[in-house]
A and B are shown apart, each in its own frame.
Chain A
Amino acid sequence: MTGRRTGITLGAAALAVAAIFALEWPTDRPEAASTFGTLSDGRFSTGMLVGSGDGLVRTAAAGDLAFVLDGDSLAGGFPSTLGAFVAVAHPQDLTTVYGRLEPGTLSTYLTTLRERDILGRVSGAGAAAWFGVFDRAKDAWVNPLILLAPEKDSISPVIRSVLLSNDERSYRLGEARTVRQGRYEVLLDTADPAGTAAGRAPYSVRLLVDGIERFACRFDSAAAPEGVLLFDPRDARTGPDFYDERGFMRLGTLDLARGAAYLNVSVADFEENSRELTYQLAVE
């Protein structure tokens, strides 16, 4: 299967799953502190962080308790970077994963779970649980927002800056209107503020250069068929190096020739709040 076909298949699968299966928010706060695709520990997250007012974490849907790690390491001592976590297997080949729980609070006596059964507590006051959704049939992580009830979010994502950068120098678009011809990497600093959360990733990103789409992705799903996790299997740019060390998204490279160039960057969140900026450049 080609990369494009794989990407289309995964995206279609995510939407198909959404059509037949819905999840409840795992805590009493239906608001994501960070979203699928957000920069976390140097790479994009395959889940989301969800705060809890009462400290409890509950099953998002009925299912079978599949795995409980009520500690900080697996058998043999391999450390857990999700902390204490629970995996629940659901029909429709979905598994939900609940991490960053407080060791010693995890429920293990129920093996068949109903929706909203308590799984455990978040670790500490003000802490957030990690929540992920895995599609076993497609071997792919699915953006939980696709399956959850909509957030109350009317705030558009922000575009903090767009940079053209190469080994010699970096231009901040909007400030720089003239650039030298040559090859540049396009870097995007964006976030989706919502509620009290400031550092969430948007749901979709698109870059047009002179009206031609040069980069487009949606944070629908992520898979690692070849041992490298990509949220768009057709585009190697959407892998572990998608974010640079400052947290800027790498949208690819451009060869700018002498003349005028128009760059259009648009970002949108899952509730379809969007932001779009267009830059006109003189290339010398």
Chain B
Amino acid sequence: MTYIAGVDIGNSTTEVCVGEADLNGSIHFLTSSSCPTTGTKGTLSNTHGIKTALKQAMSKINRNMEDITLIRLNEAAPVIGDTAMETLTETIITDSSMIGHNPSTPAGAGQAVGEILLIDNLSRGVSGTAYIVAAPSSFSYEEVAALLNQSADSLDITGVILQADEAVLVENRLHKKVPIIDEVARINKLPDGVPAAIEVALPGQTIRMLSNPYGIATLLHLNAEETRTVTPIAKSLIGKRSAVVLKTPGGNVRENALPAGEIYLEAENSTSINLDEGAEKIMQVVSDAGNIRDLSGQPDTNVGNMFNRIKKGMSEVDNIPDADIHITDILAVDTMAPVLISGALAGETCLEKAVGIAAMVKTQQLPMQKIAEILKSELHTDVKVAGVEAVMAGLGALTTPGTKLPLAILDMGGGSTDAAVISEEGRVIMTHQAGAGELVSMLIETELGLSDRHMAEQIKKYPLAKVESLFHMRMENGQMTFVDESIDPRFYGRVVLLAEEGFIRIEEDIPMEKIVQVRQDAKRKVFVTNAFRALQKVAPDHDLKNISNVVLVGGSAEDFEIPEMLMDEFSNYRIVCGRGNIRGQEGPRNAVATGLVLSYAGEIQ
């Protein structure tokens, strides 16, 4: 009995398929498995992942890894995807001149103007001056209320700023009601004696005066020039339930445009473009440039550093000198990132313009032969590097029921989107495009301001629901689901991800609709753009109309909405497009591994 194993090392997943070959060369598929790729694709550390996957697959048929007669590795394309994000603008507050945030329970309503007076210095206040009192959390709500009530007759107190979450508690105990803002974390940064304006919106509304430059000017008596400088403050306070604006002499909010730098394209038509121009222009230039030999960035600018980082990371992995590494393709995507404002008092963020870039790094050749040798000596089996990845993927994709040549495949993985067209005669044209699943994760992470990439990966993978009571939840499509057994209170009122193994709680307080929108936009921006770019490159005469069938394979084809998005777009070109189903059972995964086993049959015949 001969067991043949096909092994496909991808950017993020290593896939294995095991088949049995009988004497006349026909193949009988037995088992398959997949596990995360260990290390960067095409490096020696991949062997751990390969062995794990092989062991997994063989244990499913109660066999050992040593029973395998031949392992066939893919001749992995020497391209690796990488991603980076660059913010183009930043907002800086000098002299801490504003606080605008959404405490869940401010108290009172309306605006107030007065000098900031720390509660410690209450005795120093003089009558006839309006004051806004600031109290740190070391004062309890009872103390604050008592102190304010005591001085209510002698001082003119128009508003209160609290550090603790106690606005309602204080207000309920005040004889004279004033607007109160709470949860201002860095209250110690408030300068004593500075004129300030505070505003608390009516329930269900957002602030109106402080989000309007003329409103600020009215309250703080600003001249035309000063009003111009507070415009960014007003802008960043739009939509807030409460705000504080201070009139500090040197205080200012600046919106800086960061020098983003030029991208140089070394191509058929060499050219350059500034990153500031935005994703759309950059992509136009990239597509006009023709075949790209290398991309680089203006030295000592953001983009220059970014490209250097990508190339350096790649050379560290492979010990290949810098010159042998080229960036052959990029996908640029416009995005907005919530960035913590430097100098903010209550952790405010501002949406800044940013560009996300995925780059395709090309090296001379990946050391697949070395991996093969190591596997050979460790497993004592024959190991062969066989076949070009795209051809193997095509062979595997053809095992999908309902397919025939000519056929286009779109392999959407973690690092790159690859396309290949296989003609009736078996000729293959292929391309590798930068940008795939990892870029989507990065976009989700930055646009939602998440703290880690893992959460973004999960959001990408699973649909959402909002737990509305302990016994029911609303799915993202509006459907209601009721459960018999009460839902864990940890999920109460939260947006959760419906993963296979249960709920995953999203820690950040972001509305479900916003997450859905960001997720779908990210997928569309990356995969729809790339699918068109890739297929246009490989289509006969570069015309999509010359393609009739597209089979989607790869990890991102498993996604619950990407294939539908593509189907929708391609139906305009009368292209039959759908998620592959390798060997009628594997879904869109395992195409290359299956192709590797199949190609063995072709070789011995």
Decide if A and B are genuine partners. no
Interface of A with B (CB < 8 Å)? none
